[in-house]
Amino acid sequence: MGYHRAGFEVDGCDIADRPRYPFAYHRGDALDYLARLIATGEIGRYTLVHASPPCQAKNTLTVGTNASRGWGGIHTDLVAPTRELLDATGLPYVIEQPNGRAEIRKDLSLCGEMFHLAVLRHRNFELGRWATAQPAHPRHRGYVRGHRHGVHREGPYVAAYGNGGGKATVPEMQRAMGITWTDVREELTEAIPPAYTLFIGRAFLTARQEVFA
């Protein structure tokens, strides 16, 4: 949605059915789809590619709390094969991952407080074939509301992940992130606020203008 608001025509791809996705949508394995676009030359229709590989393998929760308590299963890290295909496109690209040990360059890190949102939602972005300046990270105004390690806290931010323990309700997540097109909890907990991709989209267009100026 943020890229759309920045002026892009958006195509999306995911392995799951997403009937609420508001733009052109292709259901299937995203890496297979990207490889097909490259092989057929259709990739030439695009200007920028954004990829969000599954983050479960090396995000903070997996390598922290879950690992220490023996929770969770085995997750495949798809960052490297995603980057390999993105490099093969010849196009500028973005790889998004949450905080943790994902092996991406943190060329850009964004936080909800940068956009006056009621969710922190820290995300890191590797920028391929283009660059932009890192905005200042303002000090957080307080805690994320809910239970953590046996302690309940109130705060100006909601926890847009999981269930129970004071986690955000679906309407709270929608309001906090500025997402209106889905009310599916799983989709909301996986989403990033459109303010992030609006920022990235505008930054990319500015960087491209500067190159050709």
Higher pLDDT, 209 or 55: 209
Question: How do residues 114-133 score in pLDDT, each as one tens digit?
Answer: 999 999 999 999 999 999 99
Q: Tokens 């789809």 label which residue?
A: 33
Confirm whether pTM is higher than 0.95.
no
pLDDT reading at 113 higher than 70: yes
Q: Give the single-character DSSP code of 26.
A: E
Average predicted confidence (pLDDT) for the chain = 93
> What is the pLDDT at residue 149?
87
Q: What is the mean pLDDT of residues 93-121?
A: 96
pLDDT reading at 75 higher than 60: yes
Residue 45 burial (C-beta neighbours within 10 Å; 0-12, 13-18, 19+): exposed
**Is residue 194 within 8 Å of residue 2, measured between CB atoms?**
yes
> What is the pLDDT at residue 68?
58
pLDDT reading at 67 higher than 70: no
Q: What is the mean pLDDT of residues 170-198?
A: 97
Cα–Cα distance measured from residue 46 to residue 49, given in angstroms and rounded to the nearest whole number: 7
Q: How confident is the model at residue 61 (pLDDT cuts 50, 70, 90)?
A: low
Cα–Cα distance measured from residue 81 to residue 84, given in angstroms and rounded to the nearest whole number: 5
**Tally of CB atoms within 10 A around 131:** 13
Pick from 137, 133, 124: nearest CA to 202: 133
Residue % of the chain over a pLDDT of 70: 90
pLDDT reading at 92 higher than 70: yes
> What is the pLDDT at residue 50?
98
Q: State the helix-helix crossing angle for 30-40 and 79-89, rounded to 10 degrees.
A: 20
**Tally of CB atoms within 10 A around 123:** 20
> What is the pLDDT at residue 70?
62
> What is the pLDDT at residue 74?
67
Q: How confident is the model at residue 212 (pLDDT cuts 50, 70, 90)?
A: confident
Q: What are the two backbone dihedrals, phi and then psi, of residue 49, each rounded to the nearest 5 degrees?
A: -120, 130
